Each structure stands twice: as C-alpha cells, then as structure tokens.
Amino acid sequence: MYGLPDLSTYRDVSEEVEREDTDPRDVVAYEIATYKPEDLARTTALVDQMNENQKEKLLFVDGPGGTDKSFLLEKMLAYIRLQKKVAIAVTSSGIAGTLLTGGHTAHSTFRNPLKFTEI
C-alpha cells in the first residue's frame, strides 16, 4: 500500500499484535479525565476518521513542538488497541519514538537503509 512494503512480515507488527502491557482501558479512562475541550475535539475528529469502514488507515500528525502531538497520539494508540486493532506508531526521530508506547522510527520500522550522498 502506498508503495511501502507489506507490514505482515515485520517483527514490529507481530510484537504489536502480541502486546500485553498496560491495559488500554486504563489509559483511555485516565486520559479522558484529563482532556481539555480542544483535546476532546481533536480526538473526536480522529476517532471519526478511524471508524470509517476501511481495512487500513494511515494517519499523519504534524505540528510545532509543544502542541501536544504525543499526548494526542498516545490516546489514539490506546483507543485503537482497546478495539483489539493493530496500531504502530512510526516517528521521524528516535526521541519521538521513545515517547509513544510501541513507537519506532520510520527507518527502523520499514527497514529503510540510511543513504548519504554528496551534493
């Protein structure tokens, strides 16, 4: 899909399917209690997108530092996992990957080699 390799053969997918760490219901219940109105509006919009009848969904979240991207994504990951669906958090940096449950960098997830060329 989208020119990317099939994820079913990757270890990250297997690990995500077998994940048995924190119960997502606990995460969702706690996080909803801490929502600000704007957080709830963003989350509701994303949930509506995810509930469309599609087998696969790619979501891209972008914004400047300090805009609660990780906060929002952690809740979305818990919501998806609560439904017993697979959610893989792919980030552009290792730091961002460590902030999300099960997060990995794009080059690690998709096994893309880093190639440097001179300009």
pLDDT for position 21: 60
Q: Per-residue confidence of the chain (119 residues) as pLDDT tens digits?
A: 566 666 556 666 666 666 656 665 666 666 667 777 777 787 778 778 777 776 777 778 888 888 888 888 888 888 788 777 888 888 877 787 788 888 888 777 777 766 767 76
For the chain, give every domain's residue range: 7-109
DSSP line for 2-69: TTPPPGGGSHHHHHHHT--SS-HHHHHHHHHHT--HHHHHHHHHHHHHHTSS-S---------TTS-H
